[in-house]
Amino acid sequence: MRQAQYKIEEETIKIKLPEELDHSNSTDIRKEIDATIYSGKVKNVEFDFSETSFMDSSGIGMIMGRYRLVNPLGGKVALLGVKGNIGRIIKLSGLHKIVGESEEK
Amino acid sequence: MRDILKMEILSRPENEGFARASVAAFVARLNPTLEEINDIKTAVSEAVTNSVVHGYENGEGTIFMEIVIEDKVVHIKIADEGMGIDDVERAREPLFTTKPEEERSGMGFTFMEIFMDRLEVESAKGKGTSVHMVKKIGGGK
C-alpha cells in the first residue's frame, strides 16, 4: 500500500495520507509529524485525504492528538479533500468542530 | 441463504486491514451499498483493533472471527482471549479510553454501535472479550 507522503512548506507540514488510515499506520505518521513539530520547523498540520478511502477511530485519535500538540503553539490543523465515508466519520466524532475542513484540494 | 466464514488471525496491526477487507469481500454477495460496506469495514476494524491494542496489549495472541450470512442479515463475531474489559458499560461510552497516551480516541465501540444494527459485548477479566454485531443489508440504516 502507498505510504504517507510529507512535504514542508513554510510553517506547515502537508501529509498526503495513504489509501487507508488505521491503527497499523497512524503511529508512524504521528511520529513523523511530531518530529518536525518538535524541531521547531513547523506549527501547522495539513492532512490531505484526496487519495484516502478508509479511516477509523485510530485516525480520529491521531488527528485530535496533533491538534492538541499544535494548538498551544498557535498552530492550526486543516483537513483537505474530505469526502464520503471519511466525512461521515469526522462529523460523528465532532472533529470538524475543532479543526478546519475543506472539500477542495 | 446461509453461509459461514471462520478465520483465525494473529493480533498483528497489519491484519486489521486484511480482516476488514476479507469480511467486505465475503459480504459482497448480498450486493450491499457502498455505505453499508463502509459501515461493516469500520465496525470490523474497530473490533479487531480493540483486540490488538487492548485485548493483547500489542502482544501476540489469536483473534477469532466468525461471519454468518443468513438471508440479508450479517452476523459478525470477533473474539480474543486477552485481558478482558473491567467495566463493559463504561468502555462503551463515547470518548472513554484506557489508553489516552496512545491517542486512542475512545470512539471504537461508538462507531460499532452507530454503523451496525446491534452490538453485544461480552467480557471476562483475564479470559477475553467477544463482540457480536448484526447488520441487515438493504435495511436502510
Put simply, whether B92 touches A (Cβ < 8 Å) is no
Is the CATH code 3.30.750.24 the one for domain A5-102? yes
Residue B47 falls within a domain, yes or no?
Answer: yes
Residue B69 falls within a domain, yes or no?
Answer: yes
- Segment A11-30 shows an average pLDDT of 96
pLDDT at res. B100: 84
CB contact (8 A) between residue B14 and residue A24 = yes
Residue B108 falls within a domain, yes or no?
Answer: yes
Instruction: Report the number of distinct structural domains present in chain B.
Output: 1
pLDDT at res. A103: 52
pLDDT at res. B140: 59
Q: Tell me how close the Cα of A23 comes to any Cα of chain B, in angstroms.
A: 7
State the Cα–Cα distance between residues A23 and A28, nearest whole angstrom.
10
pLDDT at res. A97: 86
Task: Judge contact between B74 and B8, C-beta under 8 A.
Answer: no
Q: pLDDT, tens digit, for every residue of A32-72?
A: 999 999 999 899 999 999 999 999 999 999 999 999 999 99
pLDDT at res. B103: 84
Residue B107's domain is classified under what CATH number? 3.30.565.10
Residue B29 falls within a domain, yes or no?
Answer: yes
| Structural domain span for residue B124 | 2-136
| Mutation choice for B interface testing from A27, A30, A34, A58 by most B CBs within 10 A | A58
Report the predicted TM-score, pTM, of the whole model to 2 decimal places: 0.94
The rounded mean pLDDT for chain A is: 92
Residue B141 falls within a domain, yes or no?
Answer: no
Q: How many helices (H) and strands (E) does chain B have?
A: 4, 5
Q: 3-state secondary structure string, B52-118?
A: HHHHCCCCCCEEEEEEEEECCEEEEEEEECCCCCCCHHHHCCCCCCCCHHHCCCCCHHHHHHHHCCE
pLDDT at res. B105: 87
The residue ranges of chain B whose pLDDT is under 50 are 141
